[in-house]
Structure 1
Amino acid sequence: MTKASSKNIPAADHEIDIVDGADVVDAADKRKGIQSVEVSGVIIAALCDFKFPVPLKDLADAVGMPAAKVHRYLASLVRIGLAWQDDMTGLYGLGPMALRMGYRRLNAMMWSCAPGVCCAIWRLICDHRGIWRSGVNAARC
């Protein structure tokens, strides 16, 4: 699992790493951003690294932030569906919006390859999930 640290959180005067090996952003990058969105990204990336729902303490340890701060971010992430909290256990995981985003990205990647092969793969996936019969994606193949 990627251990995030304070260097993963944007600061105006020093180099930061984006989680999971993406491009390095340095101080020369003068584009303005929203720090809370970037901090949320660090938390979401950590949720991606866990294979199962995780306690708040473990998530806070993984991102190197106080649990109270992570909890505040998670409250918003749960509200918009990027994170999810189990009502019975209190554990956190990726939410339905994160799944939707991943699904859309996979869909875009599949259609950028050979359409005939992708169509066959798409039908297998959709048949398995019961989606194909709905006719929603039938027009693509």
Structure 2
Amino acid sequence: MDSRLSPNIPAQIAQLRPKLEQRARRFGPDSEDLVQETMLRLCAHLSEDRDIRDLEAYAMTTLRNLTRSRWRRQVETEELEDHMSITETDASDLLAIKETLAAIDALSENHASLLRLVRDGIESPQEIAMLTGLPLGTVNSRLARARARLRDLTDA
């Protein structure tokens, strides 16, 4: 504990532990880790001389938020089966892609070069501006005009 904490605060945090443990058990098997992390955050928050009006409510909210954060980080995975590993591309999709790429090549070089960067996975106008050395406003306006022209050429 930080020496700046009021002598009463560590006792209040210690009294919260059973309530935190009881609540955390509802959230899953790593309840002890959640309780410890919650208590650490409480101590850190209080050691920074921040005011907490209702320590128990703050602790329960912290516990809930930590739990939700962990749930969001968990990624559900599914085992791949043979029929899932290869997806046949629809012929109409291939034709549409080919038509779109040809339409990009038909654009002026100023517009086509920016759309090629987008095609290659650089979607952020800021990143495109950095790569090309163009001002951000120029990149945004050229991309808008290029996309509009591309829609006209592909009838999309």
TM-score interval, smaller chain: under 0.3
Of Structure 1 and Structure 2, the greater helix share is in 2
Of Structure 1 and Structure 2, the greater strand share is in 1
Report the TM-score when normalising by structure 2: 0.26
Report the TM-score when normalising by structure 1: 0.28
Task: Say which one has the larger Rg.
Answer: 2
